[in-house]
Amino acid sequence: MNSELDHLKQWIGKAESCTDVAAAWPVAALTATLDRNDPPPSIGDEIPPGWHWLYFLEAKRASELGRDGHPKRGGFLPPVPLPRRMWAGGRIEFKRSLRVGESLCRDSQIIAVEPKQGKSGNLVFVTVRHTIAADGETAVVEEHDIVYREAAKPGEAAQQGRQAPGNPTWHREITADAVMLFRFSALIFNAHRIHYDLDYVRDEEHYPALIVHGPLQTILMLDLARRHAPRTVSKLDYRALHPVFHTERFTVNGNPAGDGSRAELWTANAAGNYAMSGTAYF
C-alpha cells in the first residue's frame, strides 16, 4: 500500500478546467425533485446554494465505466487501488449566487492524497478543490473529500450509528424512494449502481437497500436552511457519517444559533442516528 500511495501522490497538484452554462432546466427539475412549489426559473434568477452540482457533469462513454457505474480509475483522479469510492464530505464557500443563464468556468485541482487505517481496513482520502467563476467572477470555492475503501465482506458487521439530537428547531421528514434517487442520479449524471441497482447493492456492497446520495442529503440540508433561515448560507462544512437507505423514512434537521450566525444541520436515519452532519454559516 505504501509504494502504491507514493505513486498516487504524483497526482497532487494535477489540475483541469471545464466550462458550462447555468441552464434553467436542471434548476426546474431539482425544484420538482425536492417537492418545492417555486415559479419556473428565468434568466437572471438566483440558483440556490449547493445547486452548482447540477453543472459540469462528466459524460464518459459507456466503455469507460467500471462495473460499479463510476468512470474507470485514472485520468484526473488518481487510480486508487481500492474498489469502493464514496462521498465523504467537504467544505463549500458561497461567495455569491450563481444566476440562470450565466457562463460558468470551473478550475479543479487535487490538493491532498492521504492514506488512513479504519476499522474496515485501508482507506485513501482524496481532496479536490473546485473554484467556480460565473461570468468571470468567483462564485463558489469548494473542497470535496472522496474516500476509497476496501471491498465489502459478506457478514461484515454494520457500522454503529451515533444518536442525533432530539426536538430540533427545524425538521422535515423525507422518504427518498427509488423514484427520487433515480431522478437525482439523472440530474447529476451519476451512474453509481448503489443508487438504483438493488441486486448490485445487496450482492456486491452488502447493504440492505439503495443508498441515498451524499450530495442529495447535503442539498436537502441546505434546502432546510433556505426554508427557515432569514439569510442565505455563505459557507457549509459537512461530513458523511452513516448510510441512509431508500426503504427508510429519514429526517432533515437544524438547530440555529441564538445570534443567527450559523446553524447545525444534519440528516438522521429511521433509528434517529446521524447520517450527514454539517455547520452552515450565514
Q: Please tell me the predicted confidence (pLDDT) of residue 235.
A: 98
Question: Does 159 score more than 90 pLDDT?
Answer: no
Q: How confident is the model at residue 228 (pLDDT cuts 50, 70, 90)?
A: very high
Q: What pLDDT digit, counting tens, does each position of 34-50 carry? A: 999 999 999 999 999 99
Q: How confident is the model at residue 105 (pLDDT cuts 50, 70, 90)?
A: very high
- The domain spans of the chain are 2-281
Environment class of 203 (CB within 10 Å of its CB; exposed 0-12, middle 13-18, buried 19+): exposed
Nearest to 213 by CA among 28, 67, 69: 69
Q: Please tell me the predicted confidence (pLDDT) of residue 161.
A: 83
> Which CATH number describes the domain made up of 2-281?
3.10.129.10
Q: What pLDDT digit, counting tens, does each position of 146-157 carry? A: 999 988 777 665
Contacts (Cβ under 8 Å, ≥6 apart) of 92: 49, 50, 140, 141, 142, 143, 235, 236, 238
Asked if 89 and 105 touch (Cβ cutoff 8 Å), the reply is: no
Nearest to 113 by CA among 240, 1, 235, 191: 1
Query: Angle at which helices 178-187 and 214-228 pack, to 10 degrees?
Result: 90
Question: Does 117 score more than 90 pLDDT?
Answer: no
